[in-house]
Amino acid sequence: MSTQTNSQRGSKISGQWGPAIGRARPNAFEMALLAFIVLLAVMGGASRPEEWKTLAVKIIASMILIGLGVVKLRGSGFRSRNGAGAPNPALPKFFSLVLALTALYLVPLPPSLWTAMPGREPIVDFFASIGMAGTWRPATVSVALTLNTLTAVIAPFALVLLAMRAGERWRARAIDLFIAIAVLSVFLGVLQVVSGALSLYFFDVANFGRATGVFANRNHHAIFLAASLPLCLYRYMEKRSQQRKNGTLFLIAAGLILAGCLLGSSRAGLAMSGLATLASLAVFAKARPTEGGKRSSLLFPTAAITGVALVALPLLAYNSEAFGRLVASDPIDDLRFKLLPDIFALAGMHFPFGSGPGTFEDAYRMAETDDNLMRQYVNEAHNDWLQPFVEYGVFAFGLILWPIVSIVRAARTCWRGHGELVRVRSQCLVIAIAVLALGSFLDYPLRTAFLLTFGTFLWYQLIAVAMGAKRENDTVRDLNDRRGKAVL
């Protein structure tokens, strides 16, 4: 009698530890996926709606979404060329819901309705003062800011639809592309710090003099680098299991990314990179490249990552401000905690409907206290877990719980009775998603088009891994049933 488990037989069915990326030519959707990621990296690293590059990204994403809609209407569907198709309709449904809900805040309402909504008193007084008390207007306190949020959702939606048409091997190449962007962003950050040239910054408003890479904000840059670390170790394990020598390149990339986190002078990013590195090494230590093999040794990856990361020390010494930033107090950082009472008060003031998607800036300005007045204005809550409750009110519970439930269910599917490939890949994806989630407590990384689509891709890929593992188990179960019937 055989004692192999379903996961062991499943690993033999798949034939290897990870997807083999051969020389198959990409289709138009797969090329569009990679090109769209590059476009987002170059032009989608800012959150300010007035940046022309941000507007260009939204226009291109809208064109992609319209084009994919035409493909769907023509009957091509959204099945990938390898027949796997969409792993789960959860993401398209989620973004469709967000688009519909955001659009509802732009529908003009009679004065008897919008004037009765909590938090609209200053707007009611203003319209009354100019003799327009009976005007119909949307529920949002700022139509322009809500329109900006509506268009911002299009980019991740377009990426999901492109990923649904791409094969597994090309989604793996998309992960490699994100890693390459992280490494290039590190080198760009080094040049920004060493040269001080403003021309090296991609946006008109940025943290000049700091390492921001392809972003406008140093914290967003550091959070992206930290989230890329577990992807490097996952790809290294995959290459090593396939006995390919180029797997070491991913360890070198991890070391360079870790060095970039040190150079970035972001305390949030440094903390996230430390957690991501330790969690990734813990996954690596438990992994076995082959069924029944020995556990992986931490010596080589730890030495490689640490050795490459040491290149940051001379740069930190050269740029003493970067090191001082790690230990010095910052009024903006202190303001994040001072804002918490005001955020809760704003959420209560506009409950249950919220002030409108993307309108925190105007809602806060109408209720800003004298104690928090300063030269800089507050454009975000610096906490992406609380800001939705100000803007969406009671609907924020659904917008936050949907991704959490989906991610937890996918992770549970991957971690129950499946092979080493499924566990390691899913654990690395969960670590990367957790970095973005934890970073969102201290800043607003998901308010940038690039990081929002990056996080969406990680979510999509985790569901794809879970659905792939489920299909593999179903295949094994069918084979076992056929063998049992053949014996009878």
Q: At residue 289, does pLDDT exceed 90?
A: no
Tokens of 384: 């992406």
Q: At residue 129, does pLDDT exceed 50?
A: yes
Q: At residue 399, does pLDDT exceed 90?
A: yes
pLDDT (0 to 100) of residue 304? 58
- In the chain, the N- to C-terminal Cα span, in Å, equals 15
* DSSP-assigned letters across all residues of 368-422: --GGG--SS---S-S-TTTHHHHHHGGGHHHHHHHHHHHHHHHHHHHHSS--HHH
Tokens 């796997």 belong to residue: 84
Q: Which letter does DSSP use for residue 206 in this model?
A: S
Dist. CA 316–CA 128, nearest whole Å: 58
Q: How big is the CA angle at 327 (ends 324 and 329), to the nearest 5 degrees? A: 100
pLDDT (0 to 100) of residue 180? 95
Are 407 and 430 spatial neighbours (Cβ–Cβ below 8 Å)?
yes
| Confidence class for position 474, pLDDT limits 50, 70, 90 | low
pLDDT in tens, 225-267: 999 999 998 888 777 766 666 677 888 888 888 888 877 777 7
Q: At residue 11, does pLDDT exceed 50?
A: no
Query: What's the mean pLDDT when you consider all of the chain?
Result: 79
Q: At residue 173, does pLDDT exceed 70?
A: yes
Tokens 């004065």 belong to residue: 111
Please enumerate in sequence order all residues whose Cβ is within 8 A of that of 107, keeping only pairs 6 or more positions apart, or say none.
138, 139
Are 453 and 64 spatial neighbours (Cβ–Cβ below 8 Å)?
no
Tokens 């997807």 belong to residue: 19
Dist. CA 425–CA 469, nearest whole Å: 11
pTM, 2 dp? 0.85
Q: How big is the CA angle at 418 (ends 412 and 421), to the nearest 5 degrees? A: 100
| Confidence class for position 118, pLDDT limits 50, 70, 90 | very high
Q: At residue 117, does pLDDT exceed 70?
A: yes
| Confidence class for position 488, pLDDT limits 50, 70, 90 | low
Q: At residue 479, does pLDDT exceed 80?
A: no
pLDDT, average across residues 159-182: 86
Q: Which letter does DSSP use for residue 350 in this model?
A: S
Please enumerate in sequence order all residues whose Cβ is within 8 A of that of 88, keeping only pairs 6 or more positions apart, or say none.
463, 464, 467
Q: At residue 140, does pLDDT exceed 90?
A: yes
Dist. CA 323–CA 316, nearest whole Å: 6
Dist. CA 141–CA 399, nearest whole Å: 20
Q: At residue 213, does pLDDT exceed 50?
A: yes
| Confidence class for position 411, pLDDT limits 50, 70, 90 | very high
Q: Which of 265, 264, 268 is nearest to 324 (CA)?
A: 265
Are 169 and 19 spatial neighbours (Cβ–Cβ below 8 Å)?
yes
- Residue 109 three-state SS: strand
**Residue 128, CB half-sphere, CA atoms under 13 Å: how many?**
8
Dist. CA 54–CA 309, nearest whole Å: 32
Please enumerate in sequence order all residues whose Cβ is within 8 A of that of 100, keeping only pairs 6 or more positions apart, or say none.
none
Tokens of 164: 């649904």
pLDDT > 70 fraction of the chain, expressed in percent and rounded: 74
Tokens of 221: 């840059």
Please enumerate in sequence order all residues whose Cβ is within 8 A of that of 487, keeping only pairs 6 or more positions apart, or say none.
none
Q: Which of 404, 381, 378 is nearest to 391 (CA)?
A: 381
Q: At residue 14, does pLDDT exceed 70?
A: no
Are 151 and 98 spatial neighbours (Cβ–Cβ below 8 Å)?
no
Q: At residue 194, does pLDDT exceed 50?
A: yes
**Residue 397, CB half-sphere, CA atoms under 13 Å: how many?**
5
Please enumerate in sequence order all residues whose Cβ is within 8 A of that of 179, keeping only pairs 6 or more positions apart, or say none.
228, 231, 232, 235, 250, 253, 257
Q: At residue 39, does pLDDT exceed 80?
A: yes
Are 140 and 355 spatial neighbours (Cβ–Cβ below 8 Å)?
yes
pLDDT (0 to 100) of residue 166? 78
Dist. CA 35–CA 28, nearest whole Å: 10
Q: Is the peptide bond before 352 cis (omega within 30 degrees of 0)?
A: yes
Dist. CA 348–CA 339, nearest whole Å: 14
Comparing 74-83, 103-112, 325-334, the range with the smallest average pLDDT is 74-83
Q: At residue 66, does pLDDT exceed 60?
A: yes
pLDDT in tens, 339-385: 888 899 999 999 999 999 999 988 888 877 777 676 667 788 888 99
pLDDT (0 to 100) of residue 12? 39
* DSSP-assigned letters across all residues of 78-125: T--TTS---S-THHHHHHHHHHHHHHHTTS-B-HHHHTTSTT-HHHHH
